[in-house]
Amino acid sequence: MKFRPCIDIHNGRVKQIVGSSLKDAGNTASENFVAEQGAVYFADLYKSCNLTGGHIVLLNAANSEYYDATRVQAMEALKAYPGGMQIGGGINPENAAAYLEAGASHVIVTSYVFQNGKIHYDRLKQIEKAVGKERLVLDLSCRKKGNHYYVVTERWQNFTDVTVDKKILDELSEHCDEFLVHAVDVEGKAAGIERELAELLGDWNGIPVTYAGGISSMEDIRILHGCSGGTLDYTIGSALDLFGGTIPFRSLAVIRDWENIQNTQDFHNSSKSDI
């Protein structure tokens, strides 16, 4: 169970937003935090702490007036920390190589593979061929509808008919190196994790899975560990002190594994980290 840092970029700025509020129309989102620093600042910080496997996400559509500014921020961050971070947002076989050459360890893909509400296996094979299984992360970010979680696409705005379950995890894991899963309904709300989803993902035994969404405290990390059996990596956004929250980044950066988290008092004794 490992902490993975993030850099979310919207309208050319590093932000933390409420995931379910993101809209292409008007490039709008409910903002929790807007950083004064650019993406390079955060990439340099993560590099200095030797934190790997985090992700950069471009939150604007390719046809947005802000897309170029968002992409510039992302490319500069990749170059600042070569091999240290993954990148997602509008990735396809035509542009993936540019991100890998800029320094991304992996590319993260959703909408290219999941289109018009379905999995397109021909597209999955194309992106796998373009970058290699070992450098591909599939984003299975999802929302609950009825009794099931469904993959959502286009910056989490559109439901697919793809349910997140062990069968689909088994199937898709043959084509990628990792999964990234945002619990979209709690993403950016810092109001607790989506336990049912964490349990579902934790019960599956396969390639690495990073969970995102709702973590607001160290207690939430302990809950995530308990309901997933410690099998999930995790990322934290607006609850982190880097982004206006109270969880000390410096403590997470130093204490890497669950056993150390269990035994340390740093999280109880630390004030906001000196960043």
Give CA–CA dist 97/92, Å, rounded. 9
Give CA–CA dist 186/214, Å, rounded. 5
**pLDDT tens across 60-115, in order?**
888 899 999 999 999 999 999 999 999 999 999 999 999 999 999 999 999 999 99
CB-based contact 19:184 (threshold 8 Å): yes
**pLDDT tens across 229-247, in order?**
999 999 998 899 999 899 9
Give CA–CA dist 188/18, Å, rounded. 4
Q: How confident is the model at residue 261, as a pLDDT?
A: 54
CB-based contact 59:182 (threshold 8 Å): no
**pTM across the whole model:** 0.89
Give CA–CA dist 126/187, Å, rounded. 30
Which residues touch 200 (CB under 8 Å, ≥6 apart)?
149, 164, 165, 166
